[in-house]
Amino acid sequence: MRIIPSLRSLLFAAVMLILLVLTMPASSMAQIGIAIRIGPPPLPVYEQPICPGDGYLWTPGYWAYDYDINDYYWVPGTWVLAPEVGFLWTPGWWGWGGGGFIFHEGYWGPHIGFYGGINYGFGYFGVGFVGGHWDGGHFFYNRAVLNVNVTNIHNVYNTRVVNNVTVNRVSYNGGNGGIDARPTPEQERYANERHVAPVAVQREHMEAARSNPQMRASMNHGKPAIAATPRPGAFNDRAAVPAREAGAPYRGGNNVPRPPAPNDAKDLQQHERMPAPNTGNPKLDQKYQKQQDKLAAQQEKEHQKLAAQQEKEHQQMAKQNASEAARQQMEQRHQQQTQQMEDRHAQQQQHLQERQQPRGGGGRK
């Protein structure tokens, strides 16, 4: 299939991004985004500001994307009051899927879920969180990991943590050069728990970063002048800290204009074919090729079914002379459906390729 320019896509692309962020539930927001062809810059190196008070939890800094200027921008790490006693913060993360990089938004919940295997530091070393825990309605801070003043906060302990994760500054999962990590069954269960989306001060913190030109990767070259703040939005606080250095040499190129992601399944490009099996065993290659063909046929069937369903809804909207708000909601839903399908298909292909990888120097039998 070829990309068919869609007036609807052009008109609603910016609106869809805002609606996705503001109106989607936390469980969906953790999974849905708009694909970008170039991955985010490496994570900068910076110190952690001191914890401002009891009940504040650390939320790591991350690279977000501004579609108006086609550039990544840094959202500083900061301390945030937990919205509920017992809730922990699962950081957001960038992952490769559906032919591009998609941001999976962070959330509050009773357990730490999957965050792409990204080593954000300060207790978030790729899996779980070792910076503290809740007990008796209070959060106890691990001083070996977090910057806490014991004069003001007494519920602390000191447990050294052995970080076995390879220390790098890679900021995304999958794709070329990304972290190779997948959620465990336990993390998948956590993803289905009740979650709370980023609270208002976190949204405001992100918007403050977005409106600050110094935060743009094209201007700071991966070394933001404000890498972390003591509280959300406190960019001018004397306790705000700059990055010591970029996580790796900045390659740039993230500000190249790109077309908006398609809203509808009919506007998607056809998936690239998986590489032909070459295990050295003709019978095994034939078996694997059949598996690939079966998956491709199944995915194409799902693709056509979704495209037909979405087109039917477009026609119904036209007949009903629906309002602009109703059409926008439909476009939002279509984009969500399309991206979910693309993510699922990409994961299916990747899992099949992993199963077909030869082991022990030859093809599996």
pLDDT tens-place string over residues 58-70: 999 999 999 888 8
pLDDT score at 15: 44
How far, CA to CA in Å, does 297 sit from each of 204, 225, 264, 288, 301?
Answer: 45, 50, 20, 14, 6
Looking at residue 177, its pLDDT comes to: 85
Tell me the whole-structure pTM to 2 decimals.
Answer: 0.62
Residue type, 76: P
Q: Is residue 22's pLDDT more than 50?
A: no
Q: Annotate 136-180 with three-state secondary structure.
A: CCEEEEECCCCCCCCCCCCCEECCCCCCCCCCCCCCEECCCCCEC
Q: Which residues pair with 65 in a beta bridge?
A: 72
131-185 pLDDT tens trace: 999 999 999 999 999 999 999 899 999 998 766 555 679 999 988 888 989 999 9
Q: What is the mean pLDDT of the chain?
A: 82
Asked if pLDDT for residue 297 goes beyond 50, the answer is yes
pLDDT at site 94: 94
In a 13 Å sphere around the CA of 325, the CA atoms on its Cβ side amount to: 0
Q: How far is CA 80 from CA 54, 173, 205, in A?
A: 10, 25, 10
Measured CA to CA, the distance from residue 41 to residue 73 in angstroms comes to 9
Distance CA 77, CA 56 (A): 13
Contact predicate 73/189, CB 8 Å: no
314: left (phi over 0), alpha (psi -120 to 50) or beta: alpha
Question: How many angstroms separate the CA atoms of 112 and 344, rounded?
Answer: 23
